[in-house]
């Protein structure tokens, strides 16, 4: 058995033709949809990048117990489980967060790994020759050494073949050509694109209208839209160009599947961690605002050679946590007791449901659930969003360890059901967003797919609250989360 998981970061389902987009050029995503199952009701779970990847390893939600961080010592890791059963698990990525303090032990769960450098503010080239930043609106919204590093990196990425995404796919092609005749391998091929900034070759930009604003700008801020409608449209075109670049390199993988005759016995999963707001709801990006459909409702395609289902659309509600369970089942590896996700073999073959409702959100912000039609976003009900604690044995944030002042009042927490008898640190938590600024929200996606009109229906809210409480209990949510959200434990 062989499997490929091809993952993009911030892939926007509303920019893909299989999901109804008619203006962004994505012929290879359509080609993929014609050869695989397209999931219409796929949702992310824990946000953003590394919490989502922890779910890809463990098959369980991350958002109720801790924020961004490494894998925990008690976590079951899908690639490590494959590795331990004699299946080669290989990671190829340019997603630089894997090699920061807050994600530093994910790649070590694979047998082997390769990286391509230079995305965003990846601390890659130590080049002091750049004295002044090039003129750009990026400089208005970004600052400090991170922005400077992005400009340094770009100065060393002058040819398309040297950009991180093409490098990543080139390494992937080498792996596939070397191992096409072998058995028992899993390739996790992952690119940071189309994550912002929207840096891509001119040949893809030329496919879309030129910008209205002559000043360079390809990196949206994380906040409310203050730009003109023309500038918003310019940014959407920038994002579209990078989506088309991703489509082009997806096509290279599909070509290799054809050439090397991999379709007959190789599973292919094409997925993402989340989407992105490009001015919808008058917001840019993610994490500050609620997780509207544009961000949390994700594209997902799966080819399973066992059923051979092609060109089908699946309506069943699925999530990121189902992907590790799907891969373990495919390779005949028993799922660990703590894995909450479900294998999607029967969903692919027959659209068999695996859940009634799904949980999603960001640590310390809204805790949300959906049944596929209604979306319920529960905001904090307590002043100052407290109590809130992080439970971890790996106290690291995105790029650094927890600060000394954060560790002054730590305690020990009795084991959770999933921590395998380990007591964790109990650290006062901090939130990235204030859910109370937006309040609790309920939407009916059938009647209001754009989520423009919050619904006020006590009966539906009670039903969705019941789903939320059941999902939180199943995830062994700490008691203070119920207090923070104004729910009974």
pLDDT computed for residue 453 by the predictor: 97
Q: Which helix (H) or strand (E) holds 350?
A: helix 345-350
pLDDT at 238 over 90: yes
> What is the Cα–Cα distance from 303 to 85, expressed in whole angstroms?
23
Asked if 388 contacts 456 with a C-beta cutoff of 8 angstroms, the reply is no
- The string of pLDDT tens digits covering residues 213-233 is 999 999 999 999 999 999 999
Structural domains of the chain, with CATH: 2-353 (3.40.720.10), 359-484 (no CATH)
Average pLDDT, stretch 176-196?
A: 98
pLDDT in tens, 251-271: 999 999 999 999 999 999 999
pLDDT of residue 404: 96
Lowest mean pLDDT among 142-156, 177-191, 453-467: 142-156
Residue 369 has pLDDT above 60, yes or no: yes
Q: Is the pLDDT of residue 489 over 70?
A: no
* Structure confidence by residue, pLDDT tens digits, 149-170: 999 999 999 999 999 999 999 9
- How is residue 95 annotated by DSSP? -
pLDDT exceeds 90 at position 383 = no
Is the pLDDT at 8 greater than 70, yes or no? Answer: yes
Look at 433 and 126; give whichever has higher pLDDT: 126
Cα–Cα nearest to 308, from 264, 273, 352, 270: 264
* Mean of per-residue pLDDT scores for the chain: 97
Q: What is the pLDDT of residues 342-361, one digit of tens each?
A: 999 999 999 999 999 999 99
* Predicted pLDDT of residue 141: 85
Residue 418: in which H helix or E strand, if any?
none
Tokens of 292: 């509207």
Q: Which ranges in 104-228 belong to alpha helices (H)?
A: 138-141, 144-155, 164-179, 202-205
User: What stretch of H or E contains 325?
Assistant: helix 322-330
Dihedral (CA of 468, 488, 451, 272) sign = negative
- pLDDT tens for each residue of 413-441: 999 999 999 999 999 998 988 899 999 99
Task: State percent of the chain over pLDDT 70.
Answer: 100
CB atoms within 10 A of CB 335: 18
For the residues 102-114, what does the mean pLDDT come to?
Answer: 97
């Amino acid at each position: 058995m062989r499997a490929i998981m091809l993952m993009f970061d911030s892939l926007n389902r509303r920019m893909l033709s299989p999901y109804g987009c008619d203006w962004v050029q994505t012929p290879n995503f359509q080609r993929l949809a014609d050869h695989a199952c397209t999931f219409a009701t796929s949702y992310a779970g824990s946000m953003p990048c590394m919490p989502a990847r922890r779910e890809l390893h463990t098959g369980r939600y991350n958002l109720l117990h801790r924020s961004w961080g490494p894998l925990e010592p008690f976590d079951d890791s899908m690639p490590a489980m494959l590795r331990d059963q004699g299946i080669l698990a290989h990671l190829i990525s340019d997603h630089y967060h894997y090699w920061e303090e807050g994600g530093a032990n994910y790649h070590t769960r694979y047998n082997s790994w390769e990286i391509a450098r230079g995305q965003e503010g990846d601390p890659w080239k130590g080049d002091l020759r750049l004295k002044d930043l090039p003129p750009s609106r990026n400089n208005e919204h970004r600052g400090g050494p991170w922005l400077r590093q992005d400009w340094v990196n770009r100065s060393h990425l002058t040819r398309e073949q040297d950009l991180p995404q093409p490098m990543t796919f080139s390494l992937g092609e080498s792996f596939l050509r070397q191992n096409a005749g072998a058995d028992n391998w899993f390739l996790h091929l992952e690119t940071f694109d189309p994550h912002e900034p929207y840096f891509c070759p001119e040949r893809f930009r030329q496919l879309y209208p030129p910008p209205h604003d002559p000043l360079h700008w390809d990196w949206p801020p994380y906040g409310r839209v203050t730009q003109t409608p023309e500038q918003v449209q310019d940014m959407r075109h920038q994002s579209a160009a990078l989506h088309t670049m991703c489509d082009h390199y997806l096509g290279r993988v599909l070509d290799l599947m054809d050439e090397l005759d991999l379709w007959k016995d190789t599973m292919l999963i094409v997925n993402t961690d989340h989407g992105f707001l490009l001015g919808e709801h008058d917001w840019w990006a993610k994490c500050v605002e609620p997780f509207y459909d544009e961000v949390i409702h994700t594209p997902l395609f799966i080819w399973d050679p066992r059923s051979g289902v092609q060109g089908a659309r699946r309506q069943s509600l699925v999530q990121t946590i189902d992907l590790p369970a799907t891969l373990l089942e495919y390779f005949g590896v028993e799922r660990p007791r703590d894995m909450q996700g479900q294998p999607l073999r029967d969903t692919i073959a027959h659209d068999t449901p695996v859940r009634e409702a799904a949980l999603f959100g960001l640590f310390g912000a809204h805790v949300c659930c959906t049944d596929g039609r209604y979306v319920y976003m529960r905001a904090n009900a307590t002043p100052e969003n407290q109590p809130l604690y992080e439970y971890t044995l790996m106290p690291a944030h995105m790029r650094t360890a927890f600060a000394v002042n954060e560790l002054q009042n730590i305690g020990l927490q009795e084991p959770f059901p999933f921590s395998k008898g380990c007591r964790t640190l109990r650290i006062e938590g901090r939130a990235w967003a204030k859910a109370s600024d937006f309040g609790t929200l309920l939407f009916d996606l059938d009647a209001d797919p754009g989520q423009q009109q919050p619904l006020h229906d006590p009966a539906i809210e009670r039903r969705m609250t019941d789903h939320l409480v059941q999902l939180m209990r199943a995830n062994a949510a700490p008691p203070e989360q119920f207090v923070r959200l104004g729910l009974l434990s």
